[in-house]
């Protein structure tokens, strides 16, 4: 036991010795002092153990506190990195959205321009067709022909006659046969085809302006006929032969738009690509 703690005890023993009346009382007091000293030593030892345990717990607490702080710091750093990544992604998405919005606005503008140009070109084609009709009407020469007796033939025979003459490259005779068919059977089942083949005869004879008008008759008079895609294609080719590439491109685009899955549309796309109009 530390001396500083025994001094009070010696002092108390001295007083008790002075005041004691006999030796027996002194012994009793000494025994009590010894027991008290032992208890104090025990308490001192226990207090020291408690202090060591407190110190150990404090060290552990400091270690855990440090770990918690490190984990929190690491988590904050990762969270900050993730926030930075998300912010960067958001910026990229916003930039992409602005770019797409710009493209959409440009496409809408171009679409409107195309519509206006298409309408303008269509008006030009109609005007061109009207001029061709007027030109052909004014240049028509009426001739008197002697009527000949003709054998009565069926629709199919007369139509087939025109095809046979066309295959033999007798285009004027073939045209006359198809015109005769239309005169006798204007609403016959082969009427759309007969009109188309008249256009082909004119095209073969390099009468492209007349051919264009003839193909237009197929388109106007029989809009649901399977011959319409072919008539549009040949009309566009006739315009090309005349050197009118704008009109040709308009007709080809109309063909592709209205009959996209046809063989004629496939051919029209090739011509548009060559013209740089696709």
What secondary structure does DSSP assign to 251-278, as a single string? HHHHHHHHSTTSHHHHHHHHHHHHHT--
Contact call for residues 188 and 155 (beta carbons, < 8 A): yes
Instruction: Average pLDDT across each block of 10 residues of the chain; the chain has 278 residues. List them in order.
Output: 55 55 75 83 85 86 84 79 77 68 55 60 65 58 42 81 98 98 95 98 97 97 96 98 96 97 97 89
Query: What is the crossing angle of helices 171-184 and 191-204, to 10°?
Result: 160
What is the 3-class SS of 90-148, one letter each residue?
A: HHHHHHHHHHHHHHHHHHHHHHHHHHHHHHHHHHHHHHHHHHHHHHHHHCCCCCCCCCC
pLDDT for 134: 62
Q: Is 143 left (phi over 0), alpha (psi -120 to 50) or beta?
A: beta
Q: What is the CA radius of gyration of the chain?
A: 57
pLDDT for 125: 73
pLDDT for 257: 97
Q: Which long-range contacts (CB under 8 A, 24 or more apart) does 113-121 make?
A: 118/250, 118/253, 121/246, 121/247, 121/250
Q: Compute CA 194 distance to the chain's CA centroid, rounded to the nearest angstrom.
A: 46
Q: What is the C-alpha to C-alpha distance for residues 118 and 253, in angstroms, rounded to an integer?
A: 9
Q: Single out the residue of 120, 121, 111, 110 nearest to residue 252, CA to CA.
A: 121
What fold, for 155-275? 1.25.40
Q: Other C-beta atoms within 10 Å of 243: how many?
A: 9
Instruction: From residue 99, give the alpha-carbon distance in Å to each of 45, 85, 95.
Output: 80, 21, 6
* Domain ranges, ordered by start, for the chain: 50-116, 155-275
pTM for this one?
0.50
pLDDT for 143: 41
Q: For residue 139, which phi and psi values (nearest 5 degrees)? A: -100, 5
């Amino acid at each position: 036991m530390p001396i500083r703690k025994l001094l009070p005890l010696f002092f108390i023993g001295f007083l008790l010795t002075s005041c004691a009346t006999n030796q027996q009382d002194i012994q009793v007091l000494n025994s009590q002092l010894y027991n008290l000293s032992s208890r104090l030593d025990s308490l001192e030892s226990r207090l020291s153990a408690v202090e060591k345990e407190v110190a150990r717990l404090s060290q552990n607490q400091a270690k855990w506190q440090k770990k918690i702080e490190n984990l929190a710091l690491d988590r904050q750093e990762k969270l900050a990195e993730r926030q930075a990544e998300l912010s960067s992604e958001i910026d990229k998405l916003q930039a992409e959205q602005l770019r797409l919005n710009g493209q959409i606005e440009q496409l809408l503008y171009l679409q409107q321009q195309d519509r206006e140009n298409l309408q303008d070109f269509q008006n030009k084609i109609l005007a061109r067709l009207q001029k061709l009709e007027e030109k052909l009407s004014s240049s028509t020469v009426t001739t008197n022909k002697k009527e000949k007796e003709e054998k009565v033939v069926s629709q199919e025979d007369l139509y087939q006659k025109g095809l046979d003459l066309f295959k033999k490259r007798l285009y004027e005779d073939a045209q006359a046969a198809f015109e005769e068919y239309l005169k006798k059977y204007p609403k016959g089942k082969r009427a759309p085809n007969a009109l188309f083949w008249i256009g082909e005869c004119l095209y073969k004879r390099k009468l492209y302006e007349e051919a264009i008008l003839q193909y237009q008759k197929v388109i106007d008079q029989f809009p649901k006929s399977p011959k319409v895609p072919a008539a549009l294609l040949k009309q566009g080719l006739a315009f090309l032969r005349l050197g009118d590439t704008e009109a040709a491109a308009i007709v080809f685009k109309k063909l592709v738009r209205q009959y996209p899955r046809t063989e004629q549309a496939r051919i029209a796309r090739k011509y548009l690509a060559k013209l740089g109009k696709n």
